[in-house]
């Protein structure tokens, strides 16, 4: 693991998920830019001191010197955004399979380069759009693919949070202390790059339809903020199909309110991340249906994605564990279902979305092609 040391939420989530799926063991890494803190973390986790490395270069050199059956097989990158690309490039060139946090890179050019490198090396690259691991999101994908909704006529997705209010309305030092607000570390966008891209990814993942154009209106909310903290994006799939993505980090009281609704001529589907065990199907001609995990009426993909019997809630760790499990199958060259983990291509699509949204806003709210 690169990053994810003491106090890092996302690193802890990855470790828990890898343990839940029972396919990985954390054996080493570079856990903090501060080597002393990295060593403290390694000791706390029971990781051998000689596999707690000072840098990624040191990790690559030492691991490559080990016999093939002793060295690390895969590396998880859970650093701030700006470090994803250089570390991913170095590790792929050194022959390591990767699990990488999103957004994948800082630019579209970097994302395309990684896609070519993955194709060249034939290594597994999993991008952790975690919400694709929920059983009912996978059930939604299969229902839509079956044609049960008829002609899809409208798609809406939103992701609302409120956590950043206390930061931007506090002191100046607190603002500069948050890396997500610094373009050098976060990239071209804060809100759309961090959470809006999840809504984008869910749309393309569940429907199998690519967004062709976007028109955005972004808002930094407060003077002195360099990146967007709120925004609305109109999206076009084709001449007859349109929709909207709404994302915000300043909705007071909201936690992780990610929702998606796909409306068809025969029926519609709605799912929300804060109640992930419920997939609702609406119709003008039949009573409303509610799908839940661990039931025989679900498709095979959804049923292979739950870890508990009916009525036992599962959440973000289990969803991320499903991505790790799919990644393990790929590394072992076992048969797996398309969609078990987001790929480098999803990373390229995400970067194209983020940069098109930023370009649209800067250009006076114009339509921009992905």
Stretches where the chain sits below pLDDT 70 are 171-177
State pTM to two decimals.
0.95
DSSP tag of 131: G
d(CA 38, CA 5): 7
Q: What pLDDT, on a 0 to 100 scale, did the predictor assign at position 197?
A: 98
d(CA 45, CA 32): 14
Q: What pLDDT, on a 0 to 100 scale, did the predictor assign at position 192?
A: 97
Helix (H, G, I), strand (E, B) or coil at 49: helix
Q: How would you classify residue 45: left for phi > 0, otherwise alpha for psi between -120 and 50, otherwise beta?
A: alpha
Q: What pLDDT, on a 0 to 100 scale, did the predictor assign at position 178?
A: 83
For the chain, the first-to-last Cα distance in angstroms comes to 32
Give the tens place of pLDDT for each residue, 174-207.
665 588 889 999 999 999 999 999 999 999 999 9
Q: What pLDDT, on a 0 to 100 scale, did the predictor assign at position 180?
A: 87
Phi first, then psi: give them for residue 257, nearest 5 degrees: -85, 75
Q: What pLDDT, on a 0 to 100 scale, did the predictor assign at position 176?
A: 56
Helix (H, G, I), strand (E, B) or coil at 284: coil
Q: Which residues of 174-197 are buried (b: 16+ CB within 10 A; e: fewer)?
A: ebeeeebbbeeebbbbbbbbbbbb
List the chain domain ranges.
134-297+344-362
- Give the number of other CB atoms < 10 A from CB of residue 241: 17
Q: What pLDDT, on a 0 to 100 scale, did the predictor assign at position 130?
A: 97
Please list, in sequence order, all residues whose beta carbon lies within 8 angstroms of the beta carbon of residue 310, skipping any fewer than 6 positions away: 292, 293, 294, 295
| Chain centre to alpha carbon of residue 355 | 17
- Give the number of other CB atoms < 10 A from CB of residue 362: 13
Question: CA torsion 275→209→358→81, rounded to 10°?
Answer: 60
Peptide bond into 103 cis (omega under 30): yes
Residue found by looking up tokens 């909704």 in the block: 149
- CATH number for the 134-297+344-362 domain, one of 3.90.1150.10, 3.30.360.10, 2.120.10.30, 3.40.50.300? 3.30.360.10
Give the tens place of pLDDT for each residue, 261-314.
999 999 999 999 999 999 999 999 999 999 999 999 999 999 999 989 999 989
Residue found by looking up tokens 């003491």 in the block: 6
Instruction: Tell me the sheet residues that pair with 145.
Output: none
Q: What pLDDT, on a 0 to 100 scale, did the predictor assign at position 160?
A: 98
């Amino acid at each position: 693991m690169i990053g994810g040391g003491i106090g890092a939420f996302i690193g802890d989530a990855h470790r828990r998920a890898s343990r839940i799926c029972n396919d990985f063991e954390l054996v080493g890494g570079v856990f903090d830019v501060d080597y002393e803190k990295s060593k403290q973390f390694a000791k706390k986790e029971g990781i051998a001191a000689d596999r707690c490395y000072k840098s990624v270069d040191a990790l690559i050199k030492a691991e490559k010197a080990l016999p093939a059956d002793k060295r690390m097989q895969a590396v998880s990158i859970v650093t701030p955004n700006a470090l994803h690309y250089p570390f991913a490039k170095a590790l792929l060139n050194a022959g390591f399979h990767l699990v990488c946090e999103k957004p994948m890179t800082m630019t579209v050019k970097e994302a395309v380069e990684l896609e070519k490198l993955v194709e060249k090396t034939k290594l597994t690259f999993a991008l952790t759009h975690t919400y694709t691991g929920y059983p009912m999101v996978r059930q939604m994908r299969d229902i839509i693919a079956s044609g049960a909704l008829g002609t899809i006529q409208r798609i809406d997705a939103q992701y609302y949070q409120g956590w950043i209010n206390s930061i931007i309305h506090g002191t100046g030092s607190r603002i500069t202390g948050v890396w997500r607000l610094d373009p050098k570390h976060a990239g071209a966008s804060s809100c759309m790059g961090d959470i809006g891209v999840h809504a984008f990814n869910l749309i393309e993942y569940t429907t199998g339809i690519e967004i062709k154009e976007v028109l955005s209106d972004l808002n930094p909310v407060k003077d002195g903020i360099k990146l967007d903290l709120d925004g609305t994006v109109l999206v076009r799939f084709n001449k007859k199909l349109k929709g909207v993505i709404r994302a915000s980090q300043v909705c007071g009281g909201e936690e992780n309110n990610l929702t998606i609704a796909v409306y068809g001529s025969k029926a519609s589907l709605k799912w929300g991340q804060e109640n992930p065990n419920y997939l609702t199907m609406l119709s003008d001609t039949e009573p409303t249906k509610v799908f839940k995990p661990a039931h025989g009426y679900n498709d095979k993909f959804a049923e292979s994605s739950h870890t508990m019997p009916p009525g036992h809630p599962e959440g973000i760790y289990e969803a991320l564990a499903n991505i790790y499990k799919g990644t393990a199958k790929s590394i072992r060259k076992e048969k797996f279902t398309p969609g078990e983990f987001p790929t480098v291509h999803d990373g390229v699509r995400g970067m194209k979305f983020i940069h098109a949204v930023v370009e649209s806003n800067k250009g006076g709210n114009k339509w921009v092609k992905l």
